Amino acid sequence: MRKSLDKELVVVTGAANGIGRAIAERFISEGADLIVADRNIDNAKKLYEGNRQVVDILQVDATNVNDLEKIAESVRRTGRKLKAVLPIVGNGPTSPISEVTPEQFHLTMNLNVFSAFFTVQKVLPYMSDKSSIVLISSIAGFQGGKNAIIYNAAKAAVRSMARSFSGELAEKGIRANAISPGPTDTKAFTAFVQGDDELRDHIVSQLPIGHIGQPSEIAAVALFLASDESSYVTGAEIIADGGFTNR
């Protein structure tokens, strides 16, 4: 059976851990050739060096536009067209409203909004006329969760950008969609619960599906959106939250 991304070139940022790593690994198993980028080059090399489907491993700070140009340059060097781009980098410090600093504000916007926008903008000239942009928003982008006002706003901007990319790029054959994960079991989530088992159990109790999302479950959604399986889907958002927001 033909694999859904057989010999297709794909860019994934934030690929050295968590959701980005799960996406990269799933896409490799689906036959894709990858350009992976992450700030944590040691981890990225540990995971991908020697893998014949990994075309390039780039050390990139996704908040730095010069670094993002390195991704575009890497795509250009392949002489190939890009099937999909997945700027997965994102996060942000938590703070009550009164304690948000200008530095936290800019860092959170840069990590989530700037990085997604400029990763896509830089590789656009290399995208094929049947390709896909997959952004990572969050259920935080439509909820008013406490102590995360800037992250929530940043993820709302990411959802919005998926729609704007889709509207402006449809005529080029480029689709754009967003995934909004709920709590997903990554290092970032572990850092958020900070070893507090009660908090973790409380979060699980709020998930009708009965378990915290696994990165592989988000990767499955990403695969659908990145491949031609979703050829009629653009400007959409898939919520993958175990039923959290509709409980």
Instruction: Give the nearer residue to ligand NAD in terms of CB position, either 79 or 210.
Output: 210
**CB neighbourhood size of 42 (10 A):** 10
In DSSP terms, which residues pair with 156 in a beta bridge?
Answer: none
Asked if 114 touches ligand NAD (CB under 6 A), the answer is no
The answer to whether 239 contacts ligand NAD (rule: CB under 6 A) is no
- Which residues neighbour 232 within 8 Å (Cβ) at sequence distance 6 or greater? none
Residue 232 known to be catalytic: no
Site string for ligand NAD, 162-201 (x = CB under 6 A): -------------------x-xx-xxxx------------
CB of 9 to ligand NAD, least distance (A): 20
Interaxial angle between packed helices 18-29 and 41-48, expressed in degrees from 0 to 180 and rounded to the nearest 10:
20
The structure tokens listed for 156 are 């709302």
- Residue of 236, 115, 235 lying closest to 169 (CA atoms): 235
Confirm if 193 and 199 have CB atoms less than 8 A apart: yes
Q: Among the candidate windows 83-91, 93-101, 198-206, 219-227, which touches ligand NAD by CB under 6 A?
A: 83-91
Q: Is 34 in the site for ligand NAD (CB under 6 A)?
A: no
Contact flag: residue 90 with ligand NAD (CB under 6 A): yes
Residue with tokens 């990269």: 24
Indicate whether 63 belongs to the interface with ligand NAD (CB under 6 A): yes
Catalytic residue among 48, 126, 151, 232: 151
Q: Which of 24, 28, 89, 162 binds ligand NAD (CB under 6 A)?
A: 89
Residues 6 or more apart whose Cβ sits within 8 Å of residue 165: 120, 133, 135, 174, 176
Binding mask 129-158 for ligand NAD (x = CB under 6 A): -------x-x--------------------
Question: Which residues does 205 contact at the CB level (< 8 Å), separation at least 6?
Answer: none
113 binds ligand NAD (CB under 6 A): no
Q: Which is nearer to ligand NAD, 128 or 216 (CB)?
A: 216
Q: Where are the beta strands (DSSP E) in the chain?
A: 9-13, 33-38, 54-59, 82-87, 127-136, 174-181, 237-240
Which residues of the chain form contacts with ligand NAD (CB under 6 A)?
14, 16-20, 38-40, 60-63, 88-91, 111, 136, 138, 181, 183-184, 186-189
Residues with catalytic roles: 151
